[in-house]
């Protein structure tokens, strides 16, 4: 393009690409269009002179059908939406790599598990029930889907942040999803399980109980997508290079640990910043704080298939880590945001059927149904059988076959043959056949009667639900009780609430009683457990009846609690530095330096936008202003010192609300000096009507910084701990 005609200076972004991601990057870059410095054109490449006025018959006359630019533009616009995903519509994604440590090669011949192999990937996180525009902080399961572009083809690990599922058989999936989605008559409520139809379904489908407990736990309201685990859920198979098969469960373990928010925070975040998780992931990656997860596997030798008191094929069960430890086989790093949300995040097509040699499916009936559903969904969403040609879905391993034509075919296949075997094309492309380098299904003996039946080994619906509940700390159990109460109080049908309490009695009496007392149900509830399956003629019906958990026999599993496995780090946490004119600049500067050194992100928060002047006379930029933010968007608070600053903040109602909320949510609070500490105490005292001075201690996460290094270190330590559950007076605060 001639330089002098360029309407704007060229500002092409030069991307830094690590060599490990080079191949996929190059592939994506081939398709990336950067319009900086370019003339506006039609889709046919014709320059457009006037994009403001349509072609008219007279300057006040009708628009003319002849206006091909207008028609092209409106037609494209009218077709800009594709169907949103029927589940997991709301999501966000990032590019990255998986680096193998080689330990997986012992069990699987998959090339991406070989020592030192670096594989480009794309991971999409999502909620399940809400529409594309719903809030990130819904109480919901989070999808955790990773597309590995391996040298042997695409492997999609399409999992969740919860290791089990609601149902055991894919035939129940549409019913379950219809029950949790907004009700069909009025499309209410959006992105919430807190309504009659969800609880109706799970209170008569007892196999859902284990997962329901997880969904009512803090796992369903993560602090960040970067701070949650991922699970492949089903048992898969690994096949090694000698053809030896073992069973495998996949785990993603976040390096930042697992952290959640409180339900009160989730509700407020949904209003203040519905994009909270999406923004958090995007900003972390833009800032170079690349999130990492270790990929772990639990391996069960094929000969041990029947050595558990549950069925490995039952997706409502997990293998306790005490029985089979998780072995780490590599690490995922997400280091690049998509260039374009629609082209990449919206069009990425995960299919559980996308696997590579060395991995295989099991007969888990939920998995088997998924093998059909994902491919089918992509045909609908992406409009045809060529979705694998979209840049984000394209395999890095070369694709050669005789599939041809179809909507929007991109590949121009040369040659005369589109069939196999052939001689005209020299036999190409030819099957891998005897050299066994292709995908070979693991050989498995099959027998049985053709019937709509499910093995009795799938009938224990409560033992692991109990194991999950009794593995939680008291604080976590309280959150579960409150979650059940919140949800069931949104149900309008009393029988559903009663039935649900009846179900919980089969898990834990204390849980059932506590939930019941909050929702006005009298215990014990008399409940005959529903028999929601066909019982073969002449079979013993009792054997098909779900049984209460054996309460004396079940042991807790420490790995299931978030709080029992703390990862204390201040890395990437957001700390609000609340200041106004006259703040003690030296103290704030020192605290910010200590926090930054620990990897945290201190942000200046003031009653107004623009800049704010410290007692050194220097103005600094305000990052957040009280009228436009809320404490729930931050992990910790430091209240600036300086007499003028503290007295101005004391007169600011929003500043006090910010302090009270942070206090109530048990988050770390710092005070730059005595005046700031007194202000915090006064604020809490007047809200509680009590003397809260015994809460103002580092033990309860409140640090008074008197300028010593030890104080700054102490505050950083508290920020890293994140929550102080034993802090007194929190329940006396009503903000």
DSSP character at residue 319? -
Beta carbon nearer to ligand HDD, 314 or 711: 314
Give least dist CB 399 to ligand HDD, A: 20
Give least dist CB 338 to ligand HDD, A: 13
Query: Residue from 160, 217, 224, 298 that binds ligand HDD (CB under 6 A)?
Result: 160
Query: Residue from 110, 138, 154, 170 that binds ligand HDD (CB under 6 A)?
Result: 170
Q: Who's near 282: CB < 8 A, 6+ residues apart? A: 92, 94, 337
Query: Any contact of residue 124 with ligand HDD (CB under 6 A)?
Result: yes
Give least dist CB 222 to ligand HDD, A: 14
Q: Residue 236 pairs with which residues in a beta bridge?
A: 248
Query: Residue from 28, 94, 111, 158 that binds ligand HDD (CB under 6 A)?
Result: 158
Give least dist CB 379 to ligand HDD, A: 11
Query: Any contact of residue 90 with ligand HDD (CB under 6 A)?
Result: no
Q: What residues numbered 323-342 form the site for ligand HDD, per CB under 6 A?
A: none
Query: Any contact of residue 91 with ligand HDD (CB under 6 A)?
Result: yes
Give least dist CB 213 to ligand HDD, A: 16
What is the distance between the alpha carbons of residues 602 and 30, in angstroms, rounded to a whole number? 39
Query: Any contact of residue 383 with ligand HDD (CB under 6 A)?
Result: no
Query: Any contact of residue 366 with ligand HDD (CB under 6 A)?
Result: yes
Span near ligand HDD by CB under 6 A; candidates 277-285, 367-375, 421-429, 463-471:
367-375
Degrees to nearest 5, angle at CA 158 with 466 and 156: 150
**Residue whose C-alpha is closest to residue 551's, from 516, 518, 512:** 512
**Residue ranges with strand state E in 220-355:** 230-231, 236-239, 245-254, 292-301, 327-336
Query: Any contact of residue 143 with ligand HDD (CB under 6 A)?
Result: yes
Beta carbon nearer to ligand HDD, 91 or 96: 91
Query: Any contact of residue 676 with ligand HDD (CB under 6 A)?
Result: no
Beta carbon nearer to ligand HDD, 85 or 259: 85
Biggest CA-to-CA distance, the chain: 91
Dihedral (C-alpha) 570, 576, 581, 582: value to the nearest 10 degrees? -30
Binding mask 231-270 for ligand HDD (x = CB under 6 A): --xx------------------------------------
Cis peptide before 446 (omega within 30 of 0): no
Query: Residue from 122, 155, 263, 350 that binds ligand HDD (CB under 6 A)?
Result: 350
Beta carbon nearer to ligand HDD, 364 or 460: 364
Give least dist CB 233 to ligand HDD, A: 4
Query: Any contact of residue 87 with ligand HDD (CB under 6 A)?
Result: yes
Span near ligand HDD by CB under 6 A; candidates 258-266, 293-301, 353-361, 366-374:
366-374
What residues are annotated to the active site? 88, 160
What is the distance between the alpha carbons of residues 400 and 264, in angstroms, rounded to a whole number? 53
Beta carbon nearer to ligand HDD, 123 or 477: 123
Give least dist CB 647 to ligand HDD, A: 51
Give least dist CB 210 to ligand HDD, A: 13
What is the distance between the alpha carbons of residues 137 and 582, in angstroms, rounded to a whole number? 37
Query: Residue from 145, 220, 359, 459 that binds ligand HDD (CB under 6 A)?
Result: 145
**Residue ranges with strand state E in 460-616:** 574-578, 601-606, 611-613
- Cβ atoms of residues 46 and 72 within 8 Å: no
Cα–Cα distances (Å) from 217 to 166, 250, 549, 561, in that order, read 14, 21, 19, 10
- Cβ atoms of residues 124 and 161 within 8 Å: no
Query: Any contact of residue 312 with ligand HDD (CB under 6 A)?
Result: no
Q: What residues numbered 413-452 form the site for ligand HDD, per CB under 6 A?
A: none
Query: Any contact of residue 85 with ligand HDD (CB under 6 A)?
Result: yes
Give least dist CB 235 to ligand HDD, A: 11
Give least dist CB 478 to ligand HDD, A: 28
Query: Residue from 69, 98, 165, 252 that binds ligand HDD (CB under 6 A)?
Result: 165
- Cβ atoms of residues 366 and 412 within 8 Å: no
**Residue whose C-alpha is closest to residue 508's, from 496, 495, 523, 518:** 523
End-to-end Cα, the chain, rounded Å: 60
Residues in binding contact with ligand HDD, number by CB under 6 A: 26
Span near ligand HDD by CB under 6 A; candidates 157-165, 268-276, 468-476, 505-513:
157-165
Q: What residues numbered 50-69 form the site for ligand HDD, per CB under 6 A?
A: none
Span near ligand HDD by CB under 6 A; candidates 62-70, 75-83, 85-93, 557-565:
85-93
Query: Residue from 104, 120, 159, 365 that binds ligand HDD (CB under 6 A)?
Result: 159
DSSP string, 496-528: HHHHHHHHHHTT-HHHHHHHHHHHT--SSPP-P
Q: How many CA atoms lie within 13 A of 475 on its CB side?
A: 16
Query: Any contact of residue 377 with ligand HDD (CB under 6 A)?
Result: yes
DSSP string, 634-669: -SEEEE--SHHHHHHHHT-HHHHHHHHHHHHTT--E
Query: Any contact of residue 225 with ligand HDD (CB under 6 A)?
Result: no
Query: Any contact of residue 727 with ligand HDD (CB under 6 A)?
Result: no
- Which element (helix H / strand E) includes 671? strand 669-672
Which two three-digit tokens encode residue 360?
């295989």
Query: Any contact of residue 701 with ligand HDD (CB under 6 A)?
Result: no
Which two three-digit tokens encode residue 677?
């500490």
**Residue whose C-alpha is closest to residue 712's, from 623, 600, 634:** 600
Q: Who's near 338: CB < 8 A, 6+ residues apart? A: 93, 94, 95, 344, 345
Sign, Cα dihedral of 389, 278, 232, 375: negative
Chain positions contacting ligand HDD, by CB under 6 A: 85-88, 91, 124, 126, 143, 145, 158-160, 165, 170, 173, 233-234, 315, 348, 350, 366, 369-370, 373-374, 377
């Amino acid at each position: 393009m001639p330089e002098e005609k360029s309407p704007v200076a060229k500002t092409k972004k030069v991307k830094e690409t690590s060599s490990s991601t080079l191949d996929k990057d190059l592939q994506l870059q081939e398709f990336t269009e950067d319009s900086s410095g370019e003339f506006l054109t039609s889709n046919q490449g014709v320059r457009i002179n006037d994009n403001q006025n349509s072609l008219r018959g007279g300057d006040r006359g009708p628009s003319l059908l002849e206006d091909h630019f207008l028609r092209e533009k409106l037609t494209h616009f009218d077709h800009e939406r594709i169907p949103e995903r029927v589940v997991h519509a709301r999501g966000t994604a990032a590019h990255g790599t998986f680096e193998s440590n080689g330990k997986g090669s012992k069990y699987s011949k998959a090339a991406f598990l070989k020592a030192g192999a670096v594989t480009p990937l794309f991971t999409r996180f999502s909620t399940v029930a809400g529409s594309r525009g719903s809030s990130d902080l819904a109480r919901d399961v989070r999808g955790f889907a990773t597309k590995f572009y391996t040298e042997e083809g695409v492997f999609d690990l399409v999992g969740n942040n919860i290791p089990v599922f609601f149902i055991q058989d894919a035939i129940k999936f549409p019913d379950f999803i219809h029950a949790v989605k907004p009700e069909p008559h009025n499309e209410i409520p959006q992105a919430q399980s807190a309504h009659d139809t969800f609880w109706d379904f799970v209170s008569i489908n007892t196999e859902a109980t284990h997962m329901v407990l997880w969904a009512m736990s803090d796992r369903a309201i993560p602090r960040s997508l970067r701070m949650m685990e991922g699970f492949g859920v089903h048992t898969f198979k690994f096949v090694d290079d000698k053809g030896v098969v073992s069973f495998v469960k996949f785990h993603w373990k976040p390096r930042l640990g697992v952290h959640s928010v409180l339900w009160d925070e989730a509700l407020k975040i949904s209003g203040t910043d519905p994009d909270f998780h999406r923004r958090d992931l995007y900003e972390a990656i833009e800032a170079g704080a690349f999130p990492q997860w270790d990929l772990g596997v639990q391996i069960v030798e094929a000969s041990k298939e029947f050595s558990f008191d549950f069925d490995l094929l039952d997706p409502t069960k997990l293998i306790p880590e005490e029985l089979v430890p998780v072995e780490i086989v590599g690490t995922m790093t997400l280091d690049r945001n998509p260039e374009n949300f629609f082209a990449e995040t919206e069009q990425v097509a995960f299919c559980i059927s996308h696997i590579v040699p060395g991995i295989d499916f099991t007969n888990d009936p939920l998995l088997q149904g998924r093998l059909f559903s994902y491919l089918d969904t992509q045909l609908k969403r992406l409009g045809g059988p060529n979705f694998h040609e979209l840049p984000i879905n394209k395999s890095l391993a070369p694709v050669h076959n005789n599939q041809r034509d179809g909507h929007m075919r991109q590949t121009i296949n040369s040659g005369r043959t589109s069939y196999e075997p052939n001689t005209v094309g020299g036999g190409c492309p030819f099957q891998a056949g005897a050299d066994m380098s292709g995908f070979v299904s693991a050989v498995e003996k099959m027998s049985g009667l053709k019937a709509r039946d499910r093995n009795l080994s799938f009938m224990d619906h409560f033992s692991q639900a109990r194991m999950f509940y009794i593995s939680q700390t008291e604080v976590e159990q309280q959150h579960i009780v409150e979650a059940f109460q919140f949800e069931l109080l949104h149900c309008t049908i009393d029988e559903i609430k009663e039935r649900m309490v009846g179900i919980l009695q089969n898990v834990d009496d204390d849980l059932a009683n506590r939930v019941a007392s909050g929702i006005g149900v009298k215990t014990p509830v008399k409940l005959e457990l529903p028999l929601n399956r066909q019982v073969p003629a002449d079979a013993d019906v009792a054997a098909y009846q779900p049984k209460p958990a054996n309460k004396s026999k079940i042991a807790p599993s420490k790995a299931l609690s978030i709080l029992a496995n703390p990862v204390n780090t201040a890395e990437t946490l957001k700390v609000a530095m609340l200041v106004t004119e006259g703040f003690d600049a030296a103290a704030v500067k020192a605290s910010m330096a200590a926090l930054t050194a620990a990897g945290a992100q201190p942000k200046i928060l003031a009653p107004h936008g623009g800049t704010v002047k410290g007692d050194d006379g220097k103005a600094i930029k305000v990052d957040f202003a009280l009228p436009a933010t809320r404490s729930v968007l931050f992990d910790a608070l430091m209240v600036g010192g300086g007499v003028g600053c503290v007295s101005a903040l004391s007169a600011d109602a929003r500043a006090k609300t910010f302090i009270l909320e942070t206090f109530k949510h048990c988050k770390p609070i710092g005070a730059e000096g005595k005046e700031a500490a007194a202000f915090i105490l006064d604020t809490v005292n007047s809200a509680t009507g009590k003397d809260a001075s015994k809460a103002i201690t580092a033990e309860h996460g409140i640090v008074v910084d008197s300028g010593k290094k030890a104080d700054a270190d102490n505050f950083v330590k508290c920020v890293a701990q994140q929550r102080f559950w034993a802090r007194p007076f929190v329940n006396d605060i009503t903000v």
